[in-house]
Amino acid sequence: MKKYFIILLCYLFHCLLLSAQNLDSAWIKDNYYKTERMISMRDGAKLFTAFYIPKDSSEKHPILFNRTPYSCAPYGEDKLNPGLYQSYWINYLKEGYIIAIQDVRGRWMSEGEFVDVRPFNSNKKGTEIDEASDTYDAIDWMVNNIPGNNKRVGVLGISYPGFYSTMAAMSNHPALKAVSPQAPVTDWFQGDDFHHNGAFFIMDAFSFYSSFGKPRPIPTTVGGPDYVFPTPDNYDFYLKTGALKNFAAILGDSVAFWKDLYAHPNYDDWWKARNPRNFVTHIKPAMLVVGGLYDAEDCFGAWNTYMAIEEKNKNTDNRLVMGPWSHGGWSRGSGSYLGNIRFGRNINTYYQKNIEIPFFNFYLKLKGTVHDIAEASIFFSGENEWRRLNQWPPGNIENKNLFIQWNGDLSFDDAAGKFKTKDKEKSLPYFSEYTSDPAHPVPYAEGVHLDRTTEYMTDDQRFASRRPDVLTFSSAVLTEDITLAGPVIADLAVSISTTDADFVVKLIDVFPDDFKYDDAGMGKENGNNYPMGGYQMLVRGEIMRGKYRNSLSAPEPFEPGKITEVKYALPDVAHTFKKGHHIMIQIQSSWFPLADRNPQTFTDIYHCSDSDFKKSTIRIYHDAVNRSKIILPILK
């Protein structure tokens, strides 16, 4: 009976949701009209743009502009975009905004050639173009041709449109007053989407470019066919396909950017030209950079776009928001949970009503204030509270060494340093060891699935801690809360038996064995009864391709058996380890198929063969001289 009652409640909720959406759809039709235009750029190419314009002519209206490679469909002035009433865009419509959505150059119905992460040209001359100039020309046309606009424009976008938002800010059109790059694609070699510290994120890259990357020779309203995977098991598919050159053979010569990826295996000038952080100078509009603590795609981009703008533009109103979200999670649903982890209620409502909408209203409608929006509005998971900070990273942090111990412990006390590696009385092991076998890589998540999961960023890591090729180190039970705020640094002393290897470091929050959520206060929309006692929550994980340990531009082989430092930063963390929990560190050398397999020989991985993959013996040292540690940014 209980089962049927739950089904009935779900049905009624679905009906109410549809009813609300139908009301919003009817409201939009009553209060807005849609028009479509081809806007000429300075080189003659025309970009398709859809406008939703208020019928109310009693006042002037601001323009909110979104540039996208993902289509501004549905096409046709009689067709309404359901995203406008199925997401919080409806709030902007009810505030009287003109909404403009544009197919970027070379995509869908826009003319011209599409170029992935097209470089910014700071010295454009004549009819030379980039994404900033396309934004400038579009804004210039809009403020002079769209009826009833107040000549104040804002730009926002999530993910790839977040990249176009950053480019928009660099256009410096005088009518552009506010920009919000959200989960912005920023650096596709160091930390976003397709590479992390040089390791190729094969699963995301192949699933994306096998469809998105197909050529579009003429403007069209119809997308190309998706690649049909032969199995729903991504681990099986990527393992059996093998070396990266086999994936290139599947895609053939038609996907231009795929060939570019293979042609630029190192962080060369080609990649640097595609990193907006190198060019975000002289930013004049107000900026609101938004990202998710648990964004599997562009967590790096949000943190680092904000910090680059902050460093290079001392007088720009530049603010940061990081919430407990997956990729774009602030734009849909409640934000109250991710996978098995709950964050509390009204997360998204708080952000939308107190931060984003007031930000745009102030700069585009000259309404309200931004004094209540902090420099950095950061949600700290673990304690599940927003903190209002006057800078990021905070000024009051202390970087403390968390030492890896010989017996599997973690300690802020360098106890192992008291023992000498050749102490005859205390014959302690001075390294921990595992074998990394590319034929049996460590999975990034438990279970069988095809698409990369969003919730892996907070997944239970107990499945990994049971593997012999994963080292696990744990602190004692915490006697007080420990809050981290900023980048976590992995500083490992290692040796390997081959000439290359990857290193994956995972920072984990281990819950008490008797832990249960308080259903009354934590949000239960996911309806999950997963056993949370002893849960090993992934707080942050990151990979380093070993040959890039000293430079992403100049790879170096390892000398087999030689103790070598591998030191790198994990993306920033905002998390509180609560009293009664443990801090855990896991170290492994594969994270599959999230990241491609390292053949563990120093070679061009994009063109090597299946026969080049070798087992490697990996040692992590923790003796008196060679001290592996994790450096934690502890908030005082």
Query: Taking the CB of residue 406, how many other CB atoms lie within 10 A of it?
Result: 17
Query: What is the torsion angle, in degrees rounded to the nearest 10, for the CA atoms of residue 586, residue 587, residue 588 and residue 594?
Result: 60
At residue 379 the predicted structure's pLDDT band, cuts being 50, 70 and 90, is very high
Q: What does the pLDDT look like over 210-220, one tens digit per residue?
A: 999 999 989 99
Residue 15 amino acid letter: C
How is domain 397-635 classified at the architecture level of CATH?
Sandwich (2.60)
Please state which of the ranges 8-22, 280-294, 492-506, 548-562 shows the lowest mean pLDDT: 8-22
pLDDT value, residue 8: 35
Q: Where is 300: in which H helix or E strand? A: helix 299-312
pLDDT value, residue 522: 53
pLDDT value, residue 525: 54
pLDDT value, residue 425: 41
Query: Taking the CB of residue 102, how many other CB atoms lie within 10 A of it?
Result: 27
pLDDT value, residue 83: 84
Exposure string over 74-96, b if 16+ CB within 10 A, otherwise e: ebeeeebbeebbeebbbebbebb
Q: What does the pLDDT look like over 171-226, one tens digit per residue?
A: 999 999 999 999 999 999 999 999 999 999 999 999 999 999 999 989 999 988 89
pLDDT value, residue 500: 98
pLDDT value, residue 518: 84
- pLDDT reading at 417 higher than 70: no
- pLDDT reading at 307 higher than 80: yes
pLDDT value, residue 21: 61
Q: Where is 51: in which H helix or E strand? A: strand 46-54
- pLDDT reading at 11 higher than 80: no
- Mean pLDDT across 616-630: 95
CA–CA gap between residue 80 and residue 67 (Å, rounded): 18
At residue 406 the predicted structure's pLDDT band, cuts being 50, 70 and 90, is confident
Parallel, antiparallel, or unpaired: how do β-strands 149-158 and 629-635 relate?
A: unpaired
Look at residues 157, 166, 100 and name the one whose alpha carbon lies nearest to residue 130.
Answer: 166
Question: Which residue has better confidence, 343 or 523?
Answer: 343
Q: Going by C-beta distance under 8 Å and a sequence separation of 6 or more, which residues neighbour residue 32?
A: 52, 53, 54, 55, 93
Separation in Å, CA 189 to CA 261, 270, 525: 10, 11, 36
Question: What's the farthest any 2 CA atoms get from each other in the chain?
Answer: 89
Separation in Å, CA 277 to CA 177, 190, 273, 550: 20, 12, 10, 21
**Ranges of H-type helices in 58-173:** 89-94, 131-145, 160-169
State both tokens at 467: 């593997």
State both tokens at 149: 């606009």
Asked if residue 180 lies in contact with residue 283, where contact means CB atoms within 8 angstroms, the answer is no
Asked if residue 312 lies in contact with residue 277, where contact means CB atoms within 8 angstroms, the answer is no
User: What 3-state class would DSSP assign to 252?
Assistant: coil
pLDDT value, residue 520: 57
pLDDT value, residue 519: 73
CA–CA gap between residue 50 and residue 47 (Å, rounded): 10
Look at residues 239, 295, 237 and name the one whose alpha carbon lies nearest to residue 458.
Answer: 295
pLDDT value, residue 385: 97
- pLDDT reading at 88 higher than 90: no
CA–CA gap between residue 408 and residue 429 (Å, rounded): 11
Q: Going by C-beta distance under 8 Å and a sequence separation of 6 or more, which residues neighbour residue 338?
A: 294, 324, 325, 326, 329, 454, 455, 457, 458
Counting residues of the chain whose pLDDT is more than 90, the rounded percentage is: 87
At residue 526 the predicted structure's pLDDT band, cuts being 50, 70 and 90, is low
Query: Taking the CB of residue 269, how many other CB atoms lie within 10 A of it?
Result: 9
- Mean pLDDT across 378-392: 98
State both tokens at 116: 């992935």
Helix axes 202-212, 234-241, angle to 10 degrees: 90
Report DSSP state, residue 129. -
CA–CA gap between residue 24 and residue 46 (Å, rounded): 32
Query: Taking the CB of residue 208, how many other CB atoms lie within 10 A of it?
Result: 17
Residue 625 forms beta bridges with which residues?
A: none
pLDDT value, residue 9: 34
Rg of the chain taking only CA atoms, in angstroms:
25
pLDDT value, residue 541: 98
Question: Which residue has better confidence, 592 or 418?
Answer: 592
pLDDT value, residue 424: 45
Parallel, antiparallel, or unpaired: how do β-strands 176-182 and 286-292 relate?
A: parallel
At residue 414 the predicted structure's pLDDT band, cuts being 50, 70 and 90, is confident
Phi, then psi, of 203 in degrees rounded to 5 = -65, -50
Question: How much is the mean pLDDT over the chain?
Answer: 93
pLDDT value, residue 25: 84
CA–CA gap between residue 100 and residue 142 (Å, rounded): 9
At residue 87 the predicted structure's pLDDT band, cuts being 50, 70 and 90, is confident
**Ranges of H-type helices in 420-566:** 462-465
- pLDDT reading at 427 higher than 60: no
Phi, then psi, of 529 in degrees rounded to 5 = -110, 30
User: What 3-state class would DSSP assign to 417?
Assistant: helix
At residue 428 the predicted structure's pLDDT band, cuts being 50, 70 and 90, is low
Look at residues 241, 93, 63 and name the one whose alpha carbon lies nearest to residue 154.
Answer: 63
Residue 319 forms beta bridges with which residues?
A: 288
Q: Where is 358: in which H helix or E strand? A: helix 357-360
CA–CA gap between residue 292 and residue 256 (Å, rounded): 30
Q: Where are the domains of the chain?
A: 397-635
Parallel, antiparallel, or unpaired: how do β-strands 195-196 and 337-338 relate?
A: unpaired
Please state which of the ranges 11-20, 335-344, 429-438 shows the lowest mean pLDDT: 11-20
State both tokens at 118: 């097209």
At residue 369 the predicted structure's pLDDT band, cuts being 50, 70 and 90, is very high
